[in-house]
Structure 1
Amino acid sequence: MNNQKQKGFTLIEIMVAVVVSLILLSGVIQIFMSTKQTYKFGEALSRMQETGRFAIDMLTRDIRMAGYQGCADLSTIPANIIANNPPVVSFGSEAIGGWEYTGSWTPASPAQPAAITSLVKANTDVITIKHASATGMQLTGNLLVENANIQVTSNTIGAVANDVLFISDCTTADIFRATSVSSGGTVTIAHASSSNTSNNLSKAYGTEAKVYAFNDSVYFVGPTNRTNRQGQNVFALFRRNGSGTIDELVEGVENMQILYGDRADNGNIRYVPANDVTLNMTRVVSIRIALLVHSIEPVNNTVDNTIYNVAGTNIGVSGTVTHASDKRIRRVFVTTIKLRNRR
């Protein structure tokens, strides 16, 4: 009897091979999905950290400038204000302002923050910062009299008619409103009484004086009116300037809490929120800012139920101040900033 040699694979061998292949394929898919999830998490974390650093850096640079009025020392030289409808009544005491917004303002809000009431996220803090611009325009010649027009070499700050401007040297400072700003060649800035309580500055300034822009900014957290791919709201840090222009600075900032370093007569500094009735803003020498930053997309495997301590305010998925109950990752960024122009 002749035995024929078996050729090919038996059904059992094929089934075993298929099962082994499926097991291997499943492992490959799991590795791929795990790697993809790890990549998404790492990318979201990196972007979130970049958001936090950028926001803190921007706030730090502006807050440090609060009260700056050129060479004139804020602690010994009060700015003389002649501008009509001035942005401040007393520049020294109003260089920093802070509010708690819970649907209403605490303390009561002046015009600048009140203008953003419909834009601010409830249970977040708002801060205003006022200072002269970092760079100024040098006078080309001495003013012969106090009401003379001001001449500068070039309009490097982009001043236009009706702008509020500073002029200062190391002994005197004035805040006025420009009634006209010429273009081309030597720039002439007029400060007539039509836009000022008087056309007289404190003195006839010399060539050592400079003209600065008056920077008036309010920072707040609000909705972007955008959502992520899951339809979840995206929040951002915003800035409104004195002319009413609002800029979105960086997305992903969900909450901002601020404490003010109020220095007592004995030199001790206590950090309190803006709604503390004993807070004296004229004694504030430092600011502590904390930002709760979220990733744009949900990259966690589980819902974030963490309670975050944001400058003394607990923020969780329930309570007075909350964050969304979702799978986005969150981090708190904190810094304390010294006011360089307060002593």
Structure 2
Amino acid sequence: MKINPIHKQQNGLTLIELMIAIVLGLILVAGVIQIFVTNKQTYRVTEAQSRLQDNARFALEILTRDIRSTGYSGCRAIEKMNINQIANAPIPSPMGVNTIITGSDADSATTWSPSTPAELGTTVIGGTDVITLQRGTSCGATLTENIGSSDGEIPVVLPNSCKISEKDILMIADCEDGHIFRVTSINDNSGSTSQAIGHNSTLNQTDNFCKSYPASDPDDPSPAPSVCLTGESKQYNYDAEVFKFSAITYFIKLGHNGEPALWSYDQTTATGANNPSELIEGIENLQVLYGADDNDDDIVDRYVTAKVINDANDWDKVISAQISILAQTLDTNLTTSNQSVEFNGSTIAGTEGRLRRVFSSTIAIRNRVQ
């Protein structure tokens, strides 16, 4: 009798099969990890690009708004009005045809022409431009009645959008004259339908609104006389309007995070914890060219730097501004190689794998163009 051997079936995996399974599993896991890493990097780049564009758009929006409305005085172009400034310090340059838009051009990494405002010290990043804009703001309060005297309180409608406080610098103007002064008192009348604005000599050079101050240089109204000369008293009527006065300098400085940012300096208030103030992070450079109208036809004949305009004393000819900003991402290591960009006629080398983009805009000054 022949006995057949019993063949046992194999149980489990051989070592080779196990190694193959492990290798396939590792390949699969590596693929998943690679997809995750790629998607994460794509998300970082997309998010950084979005923030860069938002920051640049906000910067352009702020600059465009103020440039477009610079010189606003409520009624006529500044060239056709008589503006007097009587507010005490801190005050900007007296508002006039040569001061509603001014700037400083970066000659080098350490010098500007003309010089930057002294209050900025050495904080401005080298090679970046500075621009200063003066205007009455969109906030406005109309008079409820005529002012009986040149030193009388100013009665304005309440409520209004100005939210006026003591020590604010305001502008009162009709279509002929204007005065820039500092508020010394605010009195709400019964029923809160109007308020009276005081402007005495505690915060101003004089109590009086005069049509002219002959004791002063036209570009520097101090010291103003204590009383107006005969026929020079200005008594504003109900057709006048009161505005908050704005004189803002925009410049590039290192932000709170140590990276370049767009800053603003309010020339109507003292420097302190919140002045200057950081506006928008990620703005690396600001360049400004000024459009000059040489023959009064409301057409730009040339775009030149602040130095050229200032050397020729042509600020009164500026009817537009061309601004360019270089924006960068805050995040680093977004690209495998550093990006270089063309900006202001030069190649700017990239650093730290950041993304950079150039944004430009040309803005007409409405109060200069008929």
Aligned length: 326
One-letter amino acid of the counterpart of residue 275, structure 1: K
Q: Distance in 2 between matches of 1:162 and 1:17?
A: 79
Counterpart secondary structure, 2:39: helix
Aligned residue in 2 for 1:259: 289
Equivalent of 2:60 in 56, 59, 71: 56
- Per-residue CA deviations over 1:248-276 (Å, capped at 9, x if unaligned) read 11111111111111122274421112222
RMSD after superposition: 2.1
Fraction of identical pairs, as percent: 36
Asked if the contact 2:322–2:363 (Cα under 8 Å) also holds between the matched residues in 1, the reply is yes
Counterpart secondary structure, 2:135: strand
Aligned residue in 1 for 2:348: 316
Aligned residue in 1 for 2:261: 236
Counterpart secondary structure, 1:133: strand
Deviation at 1:182, TM superposition (A): 2.6
Q: Distance in 2 between matches of 1:95 and 1:271?
A: 18
Asked if the contact 2:134–2:246 (Cα under 8 Å) also holds between the matched residues in 1, the reply is yes
Deviation at 1:198, TM superposition (A): 5.6
Q: Distance in 1 between matches of 2:345 and 2:206?
A: 44
Asked if the contact 2:291–2:300 (Cα under 8 Å) also holds between the matched residues in 1, the reply is no
Asked if the contact 2:95–2:134 (Cα under 8 Å) also holds between the matched residues in 1, the reply is no
> Is 2:368 the counterpart of 1:342?
yes
Q: Distance in 1 between matches of 2:86 and 2:313?
A: 29
One-letter amino acid of the counterpart of residue 260, structure 2: F
Asked if the contact 1:44–1:299 (Cα under 8 Å) also holds between the matched residues in 2, the reply is no
Which of the pair has more CA radius of gyration?
Answer: 2
Runs (5+) with no aligned partner, structure 1:
227-232, 318-323
> Is 2:356 the counterpart of 1:330?
yes
TM-score of the pair, normalised by structure 2: 0.82
Asked if the contact 2:143–2:155 (Cα under 8 Å) also holds between the matched residues in 1, the reply is yes
Q: Distance in 1 between matches of 2:188 and 2:92?
A: 26
Asked if the contact 1:72–1:172 (Cα under 8 Å) also holds between the matched residues in 2, the reply is no
Q: Distance in 2 between matches of 1:286 and 1:99?
A: 16
Asked if the contact 1:72–1:168 (Cα under 8 Å) also holds between the matched residues in 2, the reply is no
Matches within 5 A, 1:185-224: 185=192, 186-194=194-202, 195-197=204-206, 199-202=208-211, 203-224=234-255
> Is 2:137 the counterpart of 1:133?
yes
One-letter amino acid of the counterpart of residue 254, structure 1: E
Runs of 4+ in 1 over 4 A off after TM superposition: none
TM-score of the pair, normalised by structure 1: 0.88
Deviation at 1:279, TM superposition (A): 6.8
Equivalent of 2:110 in 76, 84, 103: 103
Deviation at 1:104, TM superposition (A): 2.9
> Is 2:334 the counterpart of 1:300?
yes
One-letter amino acid of the counterpart of residue 36, structure 1: K
Aligned residue in 2 for 1:87: 92
Deviation at 1:199, TM superposition (A): 0.9
Aligned residue in 1 for 2:307: 275
Q: Distance in 2 between matches of 1:141 and 1:316?
A: 59
Deviation at 1:84, TM superposition (A): 4.2
Deviation at 1:125, TM superposition (A): 0.7
Q: Distance in 2 between matches of 1:71 and 1:91?
A: 15
> Is 2:166 the counterpart of 1:157?
no
